[in-house]
Amino acid sequence: MAREGGQRHLICWGDLKPAAAFTGETDAAAGVKVIPCDLTNLRALHAAFPFTAPVPVAHHRTTFGTGDRLGLAAPGHVRAVRGFDAVPVLAQQSKRELNLTGRTFPEVIAAASYGVFQEHFTRGYGADADHVKTEEEVAEALRQGATMITLDASERLDAAAASLPIDSVTGALDAVPANWRHALNRRYLETPQFVGGAAGISHLIQISPERLARTVLVYGRVIKFAIDIWERHIAGTGRDFELSIDETPTPTDPAAHYIVARELQAAGVEVTSIAPRFCGDFQKGIEYIGDTSAFEREFDLHAAIADELGHKLSIHSGSDKFSVFPIIGKYTGGRLHHKTAGTSWLEALRVVAGGDPGLFREIHACARAAFGRATAFYHVRLKPGNEPTLPGADSDLPGVLDNEDHRQLLHITYGAILVDSEKRGLKLKTRLFELLDRREEAHAGALEQHIGRHLKELGIAPRKDT
């Protein structure tokens, strides 16, 4: 593989027969074929080098999602993960991110595939269509090569039912079909429900008739949606199937997590991971906000439920929560799926801040101008009107990436920086890509260190044979 002016090529020389399936330019006299690393050649790449194609990975104990909004981060992500006993999900992009960056899922897979080739990483990796919300989106993602579907059922969750007065809740079970009602009563009310926790201490999941009815009101449509999607699209395909219920204002009650997971199990749905909404606040790209001891008590229970029922916990918005990583590591014992995305974009910006202060100042100004609009898509603590300003000295710029206000500002405005500014002729994206191309090693090194720190603090075992 060779790189010139931001474009990568595969160079085949000598016997050119193995390169026949690739599109490129052949110099027959020199015995050389030059093949662009693009979408056109992706199928041929996967056929010639099967380790470059994404595969289902959920059966591995530790899986780690590394979203890459630029399509340039895969080499750094591979370097971070390869030193640990974990398998990466290198292609991971939500519909929201695809829309805001103007990319397609096949482009995301291509970036991961060529990155894996470049690093000669042969342990396998996954491709997660993150936060897909409709049946059409699921079908499209599968056609486009996703090996993992993260079904976001938040829109079918009736959060208001969690705070309905008790007398309007207890009648709820009468409205569900009789055979399901009997099964629910039998499963949850006739015998106490225990799950085994850490260090052999088992936990009682408290399920009263009211709590059961409330859970059915809040999650009934979520359960039904997940069963439908499984039966129509996932069953028999071997792909990884995650259910996310994390994008809601209220934390997921552990009893509800237990009931949802058991109902899916009873329906034969092989859900590989579930993403609950944990207590406290998991905002993008910054530390955990909340009481870590309350988090620990609740997380212990969620982890025990996942262990008992056989799925993994999936930790969304999992970047930079260093204060709770030891807790997550302790109670899952590393059996988990963990997702990060925007934090890698911030590491790329750190490279820009050090390498081209002028460009970084323009990017920051664009972010400030776009921040108010971007808060419609993301939940952040920083309020419009309070956008931070940059220090005067260029040598202080990389340090602003350690400040939570700057991190949130730059984290959620990537769409404006990458797409809108380009349309307005500012060429921020073009110049950013040129810089990261020139400083490829610094970029990969920053990612290796930052993502590697996540795995280390989660207590994932290092591995020797990288």
The residues assigned a catalytic role are: 130, 242
Nearest Cα neighbor of 75 from 455, 463, 440, 450 is: 440
Nearest partner of 454 among 347, 265, 352, 319, judged by Cα: 319
Query: Considering only 240-248, 263-271, 357-365, 407-415, which stretch makes contact with Zn ion by CB under 5 A?
Result: 240-248
Residue nearest to Zn ion (CB): 316
Gap between the Cα atoms of 141 and 280, Å rounded? 32
Measured at the alpha carbon of residue 334, what is the angle toward residues 329 and 335, in degrees to the nearest 5?
125
Residue 248 to residue 246: CA distance in whole angstroms: 6
97 vs 298 by CB, closer to Zn ion: 97
Query: DSSP secondary structure string, 141-194?
Result: HHHTT-SEEEEE-GGG--GGGGGS-HHHHGGGGGGS-HHHHHHHHHHHTSS-EE
Instruction: Give dist(CA 112, CA 92) in Å, integer.
Output: 9
Relative to beta strand 240-244, strand 273-275 is parallel
- Residue 339 C-beta: closest distance to Zn ion, Å: 7
Of 9 and 311, the one with the shorter C-beta distance to Zn ion is 311
Dist CA 385 CA 367 (whole Å): 13
Complex with Zn ion: residue 337 or 429, whichever CB lies closer: 337
Q: Cβ closer to Zn ion: 150 or 193?
A: 150
- Choose between 184 and 222: whose C-beta lies nearer to Zn ion: 222
Contact status, residue 351 vs residue 435, Cβ threshold 8 Å: yes
Closest CB to Zn ion among residues 316, 364: 316
**409-to-24, 247, 370, 462 alpha-carbon distances in Å:** 42, 20, 9, 34
Tell me the closest approach of the beta carbon of residue 283 to Zn ion, in angstroms. 12
* The binder of Zn ion chosen from 246, 307, 308, 347 (CB under 5 A): 246
- CB of residue 141 to Zn ion, shortest distance in Å: 15
HSE (side-chain half, CA atoms, 13 Å) at 112: 31
- Rounded to a whole number of angstroms, the minimum distance from the CB of residue 267 to Zn ion is 23
CA distance 176 to 159: 18
For the bound state, the minimum distance from the C-beta of residue 200 to Zn ion, rounded and expressed in Å, comes to 32
Show the binding pattern over residues 350-379: x = contacts Zn ion (CB under 5 A), - = does not.
------------------------------
Q: What residues between 272 and 331 interact with Zn ion by CB under 5 A?
A: 316
The distance of closest approach from Cβ of residue 68 to Zn ion in the complex, given in angstroms and rounded to an integer, is 16
For residue 2, which phi and psi values (nearest 5 degrees)? Answer: -135, 155
Site of tokens 């990319």: 103
Query: Binding-site residue total for Zn ion (CB under 5 A)?
Result: 2
Binding site for Zn ion (CB under 5 A): 246, 316
